[in-house]
Structures are given as structure tokens and as C-alpha cells.
Amino acid sequence: MKRLGIAEALREGIRQEMARDERVFCIGEDIAIPGGWGGAFTVTLGLEKDFPDRMLNTPIAENGFMGIACGAAMMGLRPIADVQYSDFLFCAMDQVCNNVAKMRYMSGGKAKVPMVIRAPVGVTGRGSQHAQNMETFFMPLQGVRIACPATAYDALGILRTAVRSDDPIMIFEHKLLYGSKGARAESGAFDASSDIPDEDYTVPIGKAVVRKEGKDITIIGTLLMMHRALQAAEQLEKQGISAEVIDPRWLVPFDLETVRKSVRKTGAVMTVEESAKQGGIGAEIVATIVEEMSDDLKAPPIRLAAPNTVVPFAPPMEKFYIPQVEDIVDAAKKLLN
């Protein structure tokens, strides 16, 4: 058992998977430069010492290296491809959406794309183009699975699952949860470290976890919003409201059963997300809940999200953009009234 942050847990996981299976390799920008940072947030720091031939530093060419990873995966390797900020996935959209996601289907089930894509998300004082929670943009995409680990325990378990899966899996990680150290430390970081067991555990695909039990309202959120929901639940508790917090961990496939069990109990549900409300993750989850569980609902669900605007830079506007703990508390109370 040891205590690790998310960046360390992912590094440990990648190291173990690469040692266990020589088909695994990493590909991305600045991931393994001596004297460098180990990617934008230190996840791959120092791995080039252990695996000099399997840490591929690419040119700045996201569409190209994502397609190259896809090609290599179809030939039987198991790439872990990462972009420095999830916003740069837009540059790789063609390869991810047209090839990574569709090769198996288009081949009538013959091709396999055992590939992992990692991408940091979150609004962190960098302005509009280094801020987007890109998991939202992949919700309608058919053919990839989407994970959002909020703790170091989950990050490591999900990474193992993803590397061992024969299908493409995207892992969205939060900049403020990494626990990156040194020059790459983030201001406003949130401690998401966990006690990591020594055994080789995994986090199963599509399994949510109840982070806090409660009986009055169900709050669903991933990544940073999950942690904020937990903080809000604590405050609600003091005000006599018992909130249950669900961390889906996987957006695709989504664990509707865990949500159903909770909503049966609480009859009230809200989602929290860090990107714009329009066409967001909450829209998908809430629509599904309304379709499937309307009989259990005592009140219309609430989607708490960022407003429908572009991510701004200035701190007061940025704070307004990101749902805060107080916003979650207020929305929960409003829903229950």
C-alpha cells in the first residue's frame, strides 16, 4: 500500500503495463525528453530511462500521431497516445472520430484498435483554448469508451483496464487533480491522492461508484465536479439534507443501474459539469433518467453546468463560469423545495 497522486499513479500504471506487455508503447509530444517534464503534467516523467525504445516523442502533429497510433494498434501493438491539453484533440478529430472509432465497425468486426488516448481537461486560468472539458465533444461518438478518473485509485485501475482492453478507450484526466509537482504544479490544485493497494486491481468498464451515501438527493458528477459535489454534500448535511454523490467514472458506457438504485431512494437528481450546459453531459444523463425513471422522480432534475459561453480568462469571469460548491448547494436546495 502506498499513497500516490493521480500523475504518480498513472506513471506507475504505465510503467507496470509496459513492463508486463512489450506491445505497449507511449506516443505524444514532450513525453520523454531528458531534462523535460514527462508530458505537460509529469505523467510520463522519467519513463524513457526504463523504456528507451517505447517512449516516442513526436513532432507537434496530433492528427498524424493519433492516426499512426491507430495504425500500429491495428497491427497488434497497444499504444498509449496523449495530447498535452484535451483541446488539442480538435486537431486530431479526424483520426479519432473517423478511424480510431470506426475501424472495427467498418471492417465488420475484423479489425481491433486496442488503443488508449489520454487527455487533460479543466478550466485553469489559461483562457479559451486550453480549458475545454473535451469529454463532452465525444459523447455522441460511437466506437470509443470514455473514462473520467477522479481519484488516483481509479486513475491507475482505469489505466490498466484501458491498456488491456482490445477496444479504444479515452481517459480524460483533470489538471487540478493530477497532483503534479515542481515547476508543473498547478495553482488551485485539489488533492485526489489515494492509498494504492499493492495488488494488480482494475476498475471495470462502465462501473460507477457511490462516493457518499444519502437519501434526499442524488448528485452526479465526474472529475473536479465530483469533488465539489462531495464538498457540497458535506455542507448540505449540516443543513439537514442528505445527499448521495455518484461518480460515474465512465461516461461511455454509463452505469444507469447505480443511478437507478439511487434515484429510487432519493427521487431527486442533479448533474454537475464543468462545461457549457448546451448539449452537455448533463443533457444526456438527465434525458436518460427522465426516459427511464420518470416514475421515481419527485421533482424535475436539474443540470448544473457552466453557462452557455466560451471559457473566459479573467479570474472573476472564470469563477462565474465554473460551478462552485455554493452553486451545487443552492441548486440542491432549490430542487428539493
Partner 1 sequence: MSDNKYSLEFLLEMYRKMVLIRQFEDRVKFLFLEGIMPGTIHQCQGQEASAVGVCMALNEDDVITSTHRPHGHAIAKGVSIQSMMDELFGKITGCCKGKGGSMHIGDLDKGMIPAVAIVGGNIPLATGAALAFKMRKEKRVAVSFMGDGATNEGAFHEAVNMGAIWNLPVLYVVENNLYGASTPVGMVVRTKNISDRAAIYDIPGVTVDGNDPIAVYEAAQEAVARARRGEGPTLLELMTYRITGHSRRDPALYQPKDEKQRAKENEPIGRFRKYLVGNDLTSADVLDKIDAEIEEEIEKVVVQAQKAADPKPEDALEDMFVESI
Ligand X SMILES: Cc1ncc(C[n+]2csc(CCOP(=O)(O)OP(=O)(O)O)c2C)c(N)n1
Q: Which residues carry out catalysis?
A: 130
91 binds ligand X (CB under 6 A): yes
Please say whether the beta carbons of 270 and 332 come within 8 A. Answer: yes
Give the one residue of 60, 106, 185, 310 binding ligand X; rule: CB under 6 A: 60
Rounded least distance, CB 38 to partner 1, Å: 10
Q: Is 154 in the site for ligand X (CB under 6 A)?
A: no
* Among 324, 315, 271, CA closest to 125: 315
Check binding of 84 to ligand X (CB under 6 A): yes
Query: Which of 88, 172 has the CB closer to ligand X?
Result: 88
Q: CB under 6 A: which stretch of 83-91, 146-154, 221-229, 298-306 binds ligand X?
A: 83-91
| Minimum CB–partner distance for residue 77 and partner 1 (Å) | 21
**Residue closer to partner 1, measured from CB, 249 or 303:** 303
Closest CA to 272 of 313, 294, 301, 293: 301
Residue 16 CB, nearest distance to partner 1 (Å)?
25
Q: How many CA atoms lie within 13 A of 263 on its CB side?
A: 26
Q: Decide whether 91 or 210 has the Cβ nearer to ligand X.
A: 91
Of 86, 81, 46, which is closest to residue 67 (Cα–Cα)? 81
Among positions 18-37, residues that touch ligand X (CB under 6 A) are 29
Listed residue (148, 132, 140) closest to 309, CA to CA: 132
Residue 149: is the preceding peptide bond cis (ω within 30°)?
A: no
Residue 88 within binding range of ligand X, rule CB under 6 A = yes
Q: Minimum distance between the CB of residue 315 and partner 1, rounded to whole angstroms? A: 5
Binding status of residue 310 toward ligand X by CB under 6 A? no
Nearest to 175 by CA among 123, 211, 217, 218: 123
Classify the C-alpha dihedral 276-228-222-149 as positive or negative.
Answer: positive
Nearer to partner 1, 107 or 128 (CB): 128
Residues pairing with 145 in the sheet: 169
The least CB distance from residue 87 to partner 1, in Å, is 7
Quick one: which of 306, 290, 310 has its CA closest to 298?
Answer: 290
Query: Which positions touch ligand X (CB under 6 A)?
Result: 29, 60, 62, 84, 88, 91
